Amino acid sequence: MAPDVFVRRARPQDAVAISRLNNSFAAEGQMLLRTPEMISLAIDDYIVAQGPAGEILACGALKEYSPSVAEIAAIAVSRDAHGQGLGRAIVRRVEDLARMRGIYDVFALTLQPEFFSAIGYERVDRARYPEKIRRDCLACTRRFACNEICFARNLLIEAEAPDAPVERTGRADAAVVGSIPRAHAA
C-alpha cells in the first residue's frame, strides 16, 4: 500500500464517493447497487482507503446479521488502485471492526473467490448463513441466478492461535504442526 494512502472509518461526507465507487462495479453486475442514502444509513459500518488528494480509493462494510455473525460486504477497489493491497487492507480493518463489536464469525459472498481464498477465507455453503438468505437473498433481483460464492473465517480461532500450534511428540527431532485451538489444548 502506498505511504500516502490511509485506511480509516468512513464519515458521512464519504457516502457519495463510496456509492460512486461501488456503483461503478454494480453497473457491470459485479456488485449490488447502493445509493448514497443507503450508505449514509450504515456509514458507521464502512471503512475506506483515502488517497493523497482525499479521494476514496477503496471501501468495505460490516453487515451484521446477529450478535455473532456478520458479512464482510461491499468490498470495492478503484480500478486505478488495483494490485496495491487496498482490498486486503480494507478487509482487515472491517475484520477489526467486527472484533471490536464482539463478532467473530464473518463471511463474504463474492464473485472474486481467488481474492478471499488468498487472504485466508474458506469456501463454505451459503446455507450456513440463513440470516443472510432471509434478510437479503429472498428479496434480491439476482436470487434465481446468483453466482456469488460464500467464503467464511472465524476470527476468534485466529485470535487464539495466530500461528499454527506445535505439539511436541516426545521425540527430540519431531513435532506435529496442526490446528489445535489453544482453548482445547491440555
**pLDDT value, residue 142:** 77
- Residue 3 pLDDT class (50, 70, 90 cuts): confident
Q: Which of 60-64, 80-84, 96-100, 170-174 has the lowest mean pLDDT?
A: 170-174
**Rounded Cα gap, residues 184 and 53, in angstroms:** 49
For the chain, the first-to-last Cα distance in angstroms comes to: 41
Q: Which domains does the chain have, with CATH numbers?
A: 6-184 (3.40.630.30)
pTM of the model: 0.82
Q: What is the CA radius of gyration of the chain?
A: 18
**Rounded Cα gap, residues 83 and 166, in angstroms:** 34
pLDDT in tens, 122-144: 999 999 998 888 787 777 777 77
Statement: residue 180 has pLDDT above 70: no
Give the helix ranges, DSSP H, for the chain.
Answer: 15-26, 36-41, 86-100, 113-118, 130-135, 155-160
**pLDDT value, residue 169:** 34
pLDDT in tens, 91-119: 999 999 999 999 999 999 999 999 999 99
Single-letter residue type at 48: V
Interval 55-71 mean pLDDT: 97
